[in-house]
A and B are shown apart, each in its own frame.
Chain A
Amino acid sequence: MSLEYTVTYSAKNTYENSVFKAFWQFCIIPEDNGTQQLVHWNFENSLNVFNGLSINGLGFKVIRVHPEVSFKTISFKAKFKVIKQEINPFNFEVDQDIAKGYKSILEIAFKTEHEPFLRKTRFTKLPLKNTSLFSFDKTKSIFDNLIELNTWTFEYIDFKAGVTDVDTTLDTIILKKNGVCQDFSHLFCAIARENHVPTRYVSGYLHQGNGYFGDSQMHAWVEAFVPDVGWIGFDPTNNLLVNENHLKVAHGKDYSDCPPIKGVVYSNGWNETEHSVEVQASQQQ
């Protein structure tokens, strides 16, 4: 059985002074992959200027808007219909040879292949004094450790919106122990990488129907590479494995690789951005 999701993304930018030229790039289109299929989408802006489609440097579809008319506010609206298969997150077998797993992640070919996702970036670098916040228990498999890390992160940070922002790094998050999905994901990534497990920061949408944590914006979670299995999704904000309620858009080394919106605006003075996301689900035969 599969589910059909309808995602509505809206954003509105307001500027103190007139803008004469601007560029925006939206990384908000759900990707087509083994578990999800994008069946329909549309995107419009209030100025009715041309929206272009392109692929960014990391290989994800992006929408470009480039108005060359004067304006003070602009709003964007996108609608996506995605068919998603029901997922059993535990539908794989983990190698019983625990030591083999730890050995394989230290091989040079493995480390070279996964280099980007083992990097300590600005957002995934643990402060020196916190590098052993959570250490893997080598008597348990990598997968079991990741499950425990997921729970540990969920318990370590209290979900609280407005305390952190898109520039917050781990030193602040560890100090305040408050944050949103982005912060949970960065902490999970950092600790897994500290233990030599490649992790990808994922941005996407969450169907919150089951009372999951998140807010009415895009969601973030993590994919970790488990040897012999592949990439597995973990959602530390909700202490669960990624399932059919997670609609993936893009992944990267950290948030800065896949922000939903990037823009260059030729204007001065203050500006304001509001955005919201709504995800609805319906059963499909």
Chain B
Amino acid sequence: MAINTDANHQIFSSYLKKEGLFDEVFDTNGKVKSIYTKLFDLYGEHSVEDYVHLNGKAKASFFNQGITFQVYGEKEAKEKIFPFDLFPRIIDATEWETIETGSIQRSKALNCFLWDVYHDKKIIKDKVVPLELLSSSSNYLHQMVGVDPPNGIYNHVSGIDIIKHSDGKYYVLEDNIRCPSGVSYVICNRTALKRALFGVFNHYQAHTVTNYAENLLKVLESVKPHGVDIPTCVVITPGMFNSAYYEHSYLAKAMGVELVEGRDLFVENDFVYMKTINGPKKVDVIYRRIDDLFMDPMEFNPNSTLGLPGLFAAYKKGNVCIANALGTGVADDKAIYTYMPEIIKYYLGEDPILSNVHTYHCSRPDELNYVLENVDKLVVKPVDEAGGYGISIGNKLTKKEIEVVKKQVKENPRKYVAQPILSLSVHPTYIEQKDSFEQRHIDLRTFTLLGKDKEFVLKGGLTRVALQEGNLIVNSSQGGGSKDTWVLKK
């Protein structure tokens, strides 16, 4: 059954609220939640025509800022404008505190885990995490064993994906600590919303998001190699054909550092230099947006022309810091995720602040059997893919597709985990084709920075929206959009 909200406002008049979904704006009786009242009224003043006009303005803002992205795997690789929704999401100060402390807790625990698995491996010897997860992980780099990254930080930047379930609680879906993307969209969403609807900000006390780059720069500078006073930092990108190239160039520009490709750098006597018109300039900290195995062809994938030959030796000697450190992928493996509560307890002696989603691990025989029998009720995910690729959602599959998933899982159980199909919360989202607001599922990616004596969580994060009705996959590479996210001051 679908109920109508009591909205008198034109643009919300046809908003359908389905039962069983957790709506972030309307309560179960269809009433606007207090935190959104003002916003709801402000948007309600607009006619549908106004809204269409404003929407166009926001899109133009994105176009003019050059914010586009690419979807891999489509026949024509085409640059697309990142879909943006004008109706923002609001998170109150108390809820945010949970998210913020929870994100820092996880990032710190992950950092301890990484240190341990590349040094004494105590957590494995103590049988908290099974050895198998390490020995079968292709992201575990033996070259990193015994390497001490400057100031002991591995995951300088963590992107933690969080959802609100129908029980109103926040759950972590996954931790991304390789090259998490999306922070530039957080900042651009704010810019676009301000350009389209500046007035709305007068009514709310929301934290700024434009301070991300300065904090990132501080973190990068804080992990400078020993003996360097004022470090030279750079952002390294695979190049303009990468789907996140916009973000790479944005971050370099916002931090006031050079955006480089491998060919702009060279290594001599295990130091890294940048080619400049004034001659070579030593580089001390590299914020890398290239995957591990492509970073140094002399050490990893010999066919890579993206990275920098000889970089690893310079890193190992402590002459340059790489953020995030190489080999962090072993900890954001979705199979390791299942052990996060134990990992947090083991290293920090604390209870996890943010909950994990119950996860079945296909490498455990009884759990594998459960998964094989219940594929239709579960989300099955490969442990080592990103961007929402390879995920199957049980209740959306045909019988034939279910058999295919079963076969894949049976052939390589270590590669898969499964979770119950969660009901992600929904948020009113403007659907262009229908000229009206509809409920769409959302999640939240938070950005956490760890540096020497420094922790920072961007007060905002990226709210991603699954634009297709009923769809649960929010990744932009799967056609998702996003919303500006306001974190209210206390």
Expressed in whole angstroms, the minimum distance between the Cβ of B265 and any Cβ of chain A is: 13
Pair A112/B316 contact, Cβ less than 8 Å: no
Pair B142/A263 contact, Cβ less than 8 Å: no
Pair B124/A112 contact, Cβ less than 8 Å: yes
Task: Indicate if A262 sits at the interface (CB-CB under 8 A).
Answer: yes
CA of A133 to CA of B143, assembled, Å? 32
Count of A-B contacts with CB under 8 A? 70
Closest to B122 in A: A112
Segment at the A interface, from B198-206, B249-257, B277-285, B296-304: B296-304
Closest to B142 in A: A116
Expressed in whole angstroms, the minimum distance between the Cβ of A252 and any Cβ of chain B is: 8
Residue interface mask A76-99, B partner, CB < 8 A = 1: 000000000000000000000000
Residues of chain A in range 99-123 having any CB-CB distance to chain B below 8 Å = 108-109, 111-113, 115-116, 118-119
Interface residue from A56, A109, A115, A266 paired with B313 (Cβ < 8 Å): A56
Task: Indicate if A280 sits at the interface (CB-CB under 8 A).
Answer: no
Pair A264/B305 contact, Cβ less than 8 Å: yes
Pair A64/B298 contact, Cβ less than 8 Å: yes
Residues of chain A lying within 8 A (CB to CB) of residue B145: 116
CA of A263 to CA of B121, assembled, Å? 33
Q: Known interface pairs A55-B316, A58-B142. Does A264 touch B302 (Cβ–Cβ under 8 Å)? A: yes
CA of A211 to CA of B158, assembled, Å? 58
Q: Known interface pairs A57-B312, A58-B143, A66-B309. Does A108 touch B125 (Cβ–Cβ under 8 Å)? A: yes
Interface residue from B135, B270, B302, B305 paired with A115 (Cβ < 8 Å): B135
Residues of chain B lying within 8 A (CB to CB) of residue A55: 313, 316-317
Residues of chain B lying within 8 A (CB to CB) of residue A111: 131
Secondary structure call for the A interface: mixed
Residues of chain B lying within 8 A (CB to CB) of residue A263: 302
CA of A75 to CA of B127, assembled, Å? 52
Task: Indicate if B310 sits at the interface (CB-CB under 8 A).
Answer: yes
Pair A56/B299 contact, Cβ less than 8 Å: yes
Q: Known interface pairs A52-B268, A58-B143. Does A23 touch B310 (Cβ–Cβ under 8 Å)? A: yes
Interface residue from A52, A108, A264 paired with B131 (Cβ < 8 Å): A108
Task: Indicate if A25 sits at the interface (CB-CB under 8 A).
Answer: yes
Interface residue from B127, B266, B310 paired with A54 (Cβ < 8 Å): B310
Q: Known interface pairs A23-B310, A52-B269, A58-B143. Does A108 touch B297 (Cβ–Cβ under 8 Å)? A: no
CA of A58 to CA of B309, assembled, Å? 16
Task: Indicate if A246 sits at the interface (CB-CB under 8 A).
Answer: no
Residues of chain A lying within 8 A (CB to CB) of residue B134: 112, 115
Closest to A64 in B: B310
Residues of chain B lying within 8 A (CB to CB) of residue A113: 121
Closest to B303 in A: A264
Pair A23/B125 contact, Cβ less than 8 Å: no
Closest to A257 in B: B142
CA of A111 to CA of B135, assembled, Å? 10
Residues of chain B in range 94-151 having any CB-CB distance to chain A below 8 Å = 121, 124-125, 127, 131, 134-135, 141-145
Task: Indicate if A219 sits at the interface (CB-CB under 8 A).
Answer: no
Task: Indicate if A248 sits at the interface (CB-CB under 8 A).
Answer: no
Pair B125/A25 contact, Cβ less than 8 Å: no
Residues of chain B lying within 8 A (CB to CB) of residue A108: 124-125, 127, 131
Task: Indicate if A207 sits at the interface (CB-CB under 8 A).
Answer: no
Pair A57/B313 contact, Cβ less than 8 Å: yes
List, sorted by A's number, 30 A–B pairs whose CB atoms are closer than 8 Å: A23-B297, A23-B309, A23-B310, A54-B310, A55-B316, A56-B143, A56-B299, A57-B141, A57-B142, A57-B143, A57-B312, A57-B313, A58-B143, A64-B298, A64-B309, A66-B266, A108-B124, A108-B131, A112-B124, A112-B125, A112-B131, A112-B134, A113-B121, A115-B121, A116-B142, A116-B145, A253-B142, A257-B142, A264-B304, A266-B305
Q: Which 5 residue pairs of A and B lie closest in terms of their CB atoms, listed nearest first?
A: A57-B143, A23-B309, A54-B313, A25-B298, A57-B299
Interface on A for B, CB 8 Å cutoff?
Answer: 23, 25, 52, 54-58, 62, 64, 66, 108-109, 111-113, 115-116, 118-119, 253, 257, 262-264, 266
Interface on B for A, CB 8 Å cutoff?
Answer: 121, 124-125, 127, 131, 134-135, 141-145, 266, 268-270, 297-299, 302-305, 309-310, 312-313, 316-317
